[in-house]
Structure formats: C-alpha cells, structure tokens
Amino acid sequence: MEKTGLSNPETFLEKEPLDFTQKSKTEGKKFSLVPALLIDIKNTWKKEGLKRVLQVHGWKAVAIFFSYYLIRDSILYLLIPYLIAQGIFAN
C-alpha cells in the first residue's frame, strides 16, 4: 500500500503548488446567508425529489429541515407574542 500525504514526505513535496490566481467561488456573486449545502439540497429536491435528497444528503438534510422550522416557529409563535405581551402588561 502506497503512503500519500504527510505520512510520506517525498510524495507530499512532489505535488503541484496551489494556484492562487483562480477566481474565488463567490467572486462576482452577491452575498447570501443561505449556505451552499441548503442550495444543493434545494436543487436536488427540485430535480430528483425527496428520495434522492435522502440518498445523497442523508439525515443531515432532515436535521437541517427540522432545525430551520423549529427555530422559525419558535421565534414566530413564542418569542414575538412573548415580547408583545411584555410590552402590553409592563407598567
């Protein structure tokens, strides 16, 4: 078995140097708060459906979906009414 990477310094030094002249992935694009994984999940969902999303991304997609709605609904149905009630009943 051939060793690669840091375990074998000879092959590590033979690799090509990094090219820093390439454009970054975000260059020329507007800033987005949506992570690339969510965009990938959305595109997979649209093109191939839920079954393929679970095959490709596994339970990570389910956890992200659950967490998003848990946080959103907590803010919408718990935090905002609580803050409104505090403002109404505070003297």
- pLDDT tens readout for residues 14-43: 666 656 565 656 566 666 677 788 889 889
- pTM, 2 dp: 0.49
What does the block give as tokens for 17? Answer: 């140097």
CA 25 vs CA 13, 30, 79, 81: distances in Å: 27, 11, 37, 41
What pLDDT score was predicted for residue 74? 92
- pLDDT tens readout for residues 50-81: 899 999 999 888 898 899 889 989 999 999 99
What pLDDT score was predicted for residue 90? 75
